[in-house]
Amino acid sequence: MPKTMLVTGASSGIGKALSMEMARRGYHLGLMARREEVLEAVRNEICAESKSVKVEIARLDVTDYPTVAGTIRDLADRLGGCDTIFVNAGIGLGEKIGRGNFEKARRTIEVNLIGAIATADAAVEYFLEHGGGHVVGVSSVAAFRGMPRGSSYSASKAGFATYLEALRAETLRKKIDVTVLYPGYIDTPLNSMLPNRPFVIPVEKGAAIIAKLIEKKVRRSTVPIFPWNIIARAFRMLPTRIIARM
């Protein structure tokens, strides 16, 4: 039987590109995002290219916490089941600490951390009831070190990565696989305004790498693996005076 994947944040960026990549690989898809009209356009684009796959959509704001579990369950039922969920919805607003930008920080934490946890929790509930599944969570290389003007983003991504590691331990014998991905700069609207994006790669290339990592069910990986696997270790050792200039 064809495999199925649910994707949050599927209307643009990595979520859209991965959805198209997985459709090419024969996956049926359940796409979620806040903008239902954009999801409809994404579905049409996927179905025009990959005519044999089934694509269902649902509007979801991951910070509307009471609706998350029901939306996931409904999409999975419409697809006849769910093998994998790609927990991807996220924002990056950027803010300086102590400059009156707390609302940006709050919103970032609500979407990237609490919304992501709500999504993973709902997926695990479904997988426990149906004999297993695969949770894939999107963190970031920003999780490896708190970065200036990105404090809440770094915190949210580090927090979610830690949550996923705990999830893996808690479900070790429950037939639930957990993958934590740490993308570097992938060319998406989330980072397109930044003046400097070292080692940036096209979103299509990023999606192809992510698809391979998902199908291998790796436990954790940077995206791409090189050079970010080396840079990530270096981040932790850099003196604060160097981090402060970034």
Break the chain into its structural domains and give their ranges: 4-243
| Residue 185 known to be catalytic | no
pTM for the complete prediction?
0.95
pLDDT at residue 101, as a whole number: 94
pLDDT at residue 30, as a whole number: 98
**Preceding peptide of 195 cis, ω within 30°:** no
pLDDT at residue 198, as a whole number: 85
pLDDT at residue 79, as a whole number: 97
pLDDT at residue 124, as a whole number: 98
**CB-hemisphere CA count at 13 Å for 169?**
5
pLDDT tens-digit map of 16-30 = 999 999 999 999 999
Residue of 27, 65, 126, 153 marked active site: 153
Determine the Cα–Cα distance for residues 230 and 12; give it in Å rounded to an integer: 29
- Low pLDDT (below 50) residues in the chain: none
pLDDT at residue 242, as a whole number: 77
Element (H, E) at 94: none
Tell me the CATH number for domain 4-243: 3.40.50.720
Question: What is the length of the chain?
Answer: 246
